[in-house]
Amino acid sequence: MNPAPGLIDLTDAIGNTALHFAAQKNDKRMVSMLLDHKPDLAHRRNHRLQSALHVAAFYGSTAAATELLRHSPDAAEMLDKDGRNAVHVAVSSGKVDALRCLLRRVRPAEVVNRGDNVGDTPLHLAAKMARIKSALMLLKDTRVDPCLLNRDGHSARSLVEERVAGGEMDAYVVYLWEKLKKYEALRCKNQQLPPVATYQSLRSRRSGSGNDEYFELSVGTYTLVATLIATVTFAATFTMPGGYNQNSGFAIHADHPAFNIFVVSNTVAMCSSVAVVFCFIWAWRDPVKFNLDHLTWVHILTIIACLAMIISLMTSVYLTVLPTKRWPAYLVIAIGACTPPVVICILGKEAFYIPFVEKPLLPVVANS
């Protein structure tokens, strides 16, 4: 189906074309059809000088952005009224998937290092707005230059220090600061940059924040889960499946292969959960210094403890049911084996990675 020639050029009150709306709705088929019929639509901008790619980046429309860049790769270089390209917009709106899509398909380094009207590159924006995921993604891209200064003479790292000076400091901000400081040290040798603050000087300016509450809630949740696992697995050590032989004192099923699996999995679950509890005892002493690298490892240990506890459950049930009636044990094993895939289906990759806190942004792209 081909759109009518007169209709395809129509705009709404603020200059949005049909392509802008197709990008907003992530309609890849419509984007392709419009660009096949009229390729220059990719370069049409609304009254705020936003192209369809800007809109796709703001709304996280990755399929539409991919199609736009396939038809018009130079659309990534277009600037809005603030002097920002689509990479800037993806960072400021917190759309990590859109940023990932753009970094994969945009080639010129000038695009990812472009300064806006006040000289802020996408990395500056990520630092200024505490977009942790976006900042890490940009830093891992070798084209991104962490040494660039904006018009106020700030690097991305010194902008984070400015946030702290304004009274905002938590584990997430410190984590971002440490990463930026590390990449500056690696890539910005012999370059004139703002002086680096010390952790002690940053900590002295610390005040409470919403992210602090989120972090402390995470610590409390992990500690509770780990304590429960440690308690259950410790109790299982002294109440072995099937009990003990009253004469020898050995476990009744000690010679069964499944018993060895039970002992190992129960020990793994208990030791992993104890490690989590110990780590968070230290975290409460200085939750800011306990950064997200530590939290990620604790998250992994908690997953290991949970998986080991499931295995321990399956083997203990298998050992305690009658050999002539194994079907309850097989059913328990089937349910236990299905638990991790179910969790992964529900949570996706978030089951394995620590979710970062991104501050919400009010919409700036108007539509009719």
pLDDT tens per residue across span 226-276: 888 888 888 887 777 877 777 776 777 777 888 889 889 999 999 999 988
Model pLDDT, residue 367: 44
> Does the pLDDT at position 175 exceed 60?
yes
> Does the pLDDT at position 166 exceed 90?
no
How far apart, in whole angstroms, are the C-alpha atoms of residue 28 and residue 19?
10
Instruction: Tell which CATH architecture fits domain 11-205.
Output: Alpha Horseshoe (1.25)
- Domain borders along the chain are 11-205, 210-350
Average pLDDT of the chain? 83
φ and ψ at residue 34, rounded to 5 degrees:
-65, -40
Query: C-alpha dihedral over 118, 83, 62, 38, to 10 degrees?
Result: 180
pLDDT tens per residue across span 44-83: 999 999 999 999 999 999 999 999 999 999 999 999 999 9
Q: What is the 3-state secondary structure (H, E, C) of the chain?
A: CCCCCCCCCCCCCCCCCHHHHHHHCCCHHHHHHHHHHCHHHHHCCCCCCCCHHHHHHHHCCHHHHHHHHHHCHHHHHCCCCCCCCHHHHHHHCCCHHHHHHHHHHCCCHHHHCCCCCCCCCHHHHHHHCCCHHHHHHHHHCCCCCCCCCCCCCCCHHHHHHHHHHCCCCCHHHHHHHHHHHHHHHHHCCCCCCCCCCCHHHHHHCCCCCHHHHHHHHHHHHHHHHHHHHHHHHHHHHHCCCCCECCCCCCECCCCCHHHHHHHHHHHHHHHHHHHHHHHHHHHHHCCCCCCHHHHHHHHHHHHHHHHHHHHHHHHHHHHHCCCCCCHHHHHHHHHHHHHHHHHHHHHHHHHCCCCCCCCCCCCCCCCC
Report whether 12 contacts 367 (CB < 8 A). Answer: yes
pLDDT band for position 366 (cuts 50, 70, 90): very low
Structure tokens at 137: 């993604």
- Number of Cβ within 10 Å of residue 62's Cβ equals 21
More confident position, 254 or 355: 254
Structure tokens at 83: 């002097």
How far apart, in whole angstroms, are the C-alpha atoms of residue 21 and residue 102?
19
Report whether 55 contacts 25 (CB < 8 A). Answer: no
Model pLDDT, residue 368: 36
- Number of Cβ within 10 Å of residue 343's Cβ equals 13
Of 97-106, 128-137, 175-184, 344-353, the range with the highest mean pLDDT is: 97-106
> Does the pLDDT at position 18 exceed 50?
yes
pLDDT band for position 201 (cuts 50, 70, 90): low
Taking residues 188-201, what's their average pLDDT?
A: 78
Residue the block writes with tokens 């089951």: 351
